[in-house]
Structure 1
């Protein structure tokens, strides 16, 4: 079966200059770091220069390479206190489960939005749990009988028939069987 694919695009929006606001989506330009005040700053042991770069503390300003020394324009275009960078895209292709055919999980197994529980169980906190009135037996939910019995005994069924037996029209007799619809039998 062919499953649908989803294409995810990542967009790098902008980079902030020295002493400008930075966040998770707005990164500091160059080797600067985003400090606890959410401002771009020089790393520890470095100080800012007049052209918005960082240099080691105590280094001679004349010997520090600047972007101008590398034939790079040190004055970026500003827009609302950050530099607009050409958008760069990266493409990731992933295969997802078909939403129309969710996965199935047995009682006791992991479940989620995409994986539904089966066999008289319901998803609760990431696991399939038996419904009320049922208990786990292996990988399925079975009826929980009172007093930890595995079901009614033959003598119990005999008593229930005599206690709950009803005469119905046309000589139909009904008696309850635990966990089932009433059973009807015609007597001739």
Structure 2
């Protein structure tokens, strides 16, 4: 066997070189370095963003800006808050001692659907006391009155006050009741 190895030394050297090349190719060649992830934070973007974020952190919370209702302590429980709100409603809902005076010939505006005691008093304070006045309203007049009605804005259009007032002013109760229900 030694003789065959000596006779084939060139072939044996080629095989050794081939095996070394394959080993180098599989394990030894340079692999590309793994891609590194770049992590950025506020400070890497610049000082102005860091300053802005610090200002947001240092700003008072929105909860600190809410003020409790008057007469309620800052450490009040939910029961005290509800009691205070109910007391305010009772004060607002207390009946007016004397109704607003209506001039001679004033109509009962409470017969118009959608006009309750508060709206009736508010309309009287605006000088509206008769069906004829409401029946003569134009779209511009309704817009002016709506601007003065506060939370009741839009009711004149929504409840068809002008049409109701025309029927009530004319005394046509049957047509009114057919269109809007019982007077």
Range into which the TM-score falls when normalised by the shorter chain: under 0.3
TM-score norm. by structure 2 comes to 0.21
- The structure with the larger Rg is 2
TM-score norm. by structure 1 comes to 0.21
Which of the pair is proportionally richer in helix? 2
Q: Higher relative contact order by CA 8 Å / sep ≥ 6: 1 or 2? A: 1
Which of the pair is proportionally richer in strand? 1
